[in-house]
Amino acid sequence: MKIKIKGTGSAVPKLRVTNDDLSKLMDTSDEWIRSRTGIGARHLAVEETTTGLAVAAAKEALKDAGMTAEELDLIIAATVTADKFLPNLSCEVQSALGAENAVAFDLNAACSGFLFALNTVQMYLENGIYKKALVIGAETLSKIMDWNDRSTCVLFGDGAGAAVVTAEDENVDGHSAVTSGKSDAGMMQTGAVSRINKSGILSMVQGSDGARGEVLRCDNRPVNNPFAANDSKLSYVSMDGQEVYKFAVKTVPKVIEEAVKKAGLEVEDIDLFVLHQANLRIIESVAKRLHQPMEKFPTNLEECGNISAASVPILLDNINKHGMICEGKKIVLAGFGAGLTWGATVLVW
């Protein structure tokens, strides 16, 4: 089976908040934010909800794929900011879409969430359990920010991205290709199965390091019952920016290299690297460590900021809708963040 992304969609709130807008609310400036992060604006929910944004992105993805909601077998939503504890976000999306035949559940891996959800979908589809799936990353991070803490609140935004993923039969001879070097297509290595005619998802790599998870955290509701009264205030996102930066610039290049090698490719073969949009400095450092030009690293954090699980699928939809990817393009998707978690996917469009 080949597992392919057949359609993409995205949605962001109407309200666009610039760095200058934030400077009127707190001690910050456009120069301070841009020089440290590369972020110029973000979209913040006012009337929108995580569910509403997820549904809007999902409808776009289904339209792009030329599919109806009734055809879906599976919906996985990645989020840390669902509107409700119960029912979960994916079931709310299922109801809104009328996807009555789909199994639906949520997944939380923070900024790596979309990659983890995509990997989970791949396993279901490769094993023939389902054939058509919807993967969503959706967040309204503005509701868990401390808007008096300029070191964190200026970084994040709200939005949702979605992808329709399908399993299709592929005619592959299965012979091992043994060669002393790369083929003309640059897509084989010694002892590897030929990838020349392959399309869809080629490889995935994931990782977690819970021992370092406290560098980026937000507490849930504490125990509060007749036997353990608790009057704790609401918790907001807190982050050790330097530790997160060091983690990202060291881990992301390694996981990308591992995923590319697993796909039987070289880093130089990759046309586009679609990374989680956390910080422009991180993306630039990853490009430098991989010895690849920044032209291969599209960004939208200038306008969107960091949208956690929604970051990668929104950017993927942006470059898809702007004609930056076409059949045969080799793409890496990579997410990294709280947990700590990280993941990378290599695919041929």
Count, residues in the chain = 349
Judge whether 306 counts as a catalytic residue.
yes
**Residue 276 annotated as catalytic:** yes
167 φ, ψ to 5°? -105, 130
- Cα pseudo-dihedral 120, 122, 124, 126, rounded to 10: -150
Whether residue 50 contacts residue 160, with contact meaning beta carbons closer than 8 Å, is answered with: yes
Measuring CA to CA, which residue among 222, 247, 218 is closest to residue 235? 218
Which tokens in the block code for residue 17? 């908040």
The answer to whether residues 74 and 91 touch, using CB atoms and an 8 Å cutoff, is no
Q: Which of 119, 279, 306, 318 is catalytic?
A: 306
d(CA 336, CA 347): 18
281/276 Cα distance (integer angstroms):
12
HSE-CB of 306 using CA atoms within 13 angstroms: 25
Which of 43, 276, 300, 318 is catalytic? The answer is 276
Of 43, 91, 108, 111, catalytic: 111
| Residue 68 tokens, joined | 């109806």
Quickly list DSSP for 173-212: ---EE--SS--TTS---TTEEP-TT--EEEEEEEEE-GGG
153 in catalytic set: no
Which residues are known catalytic residues? Answer: 111, 276, 306
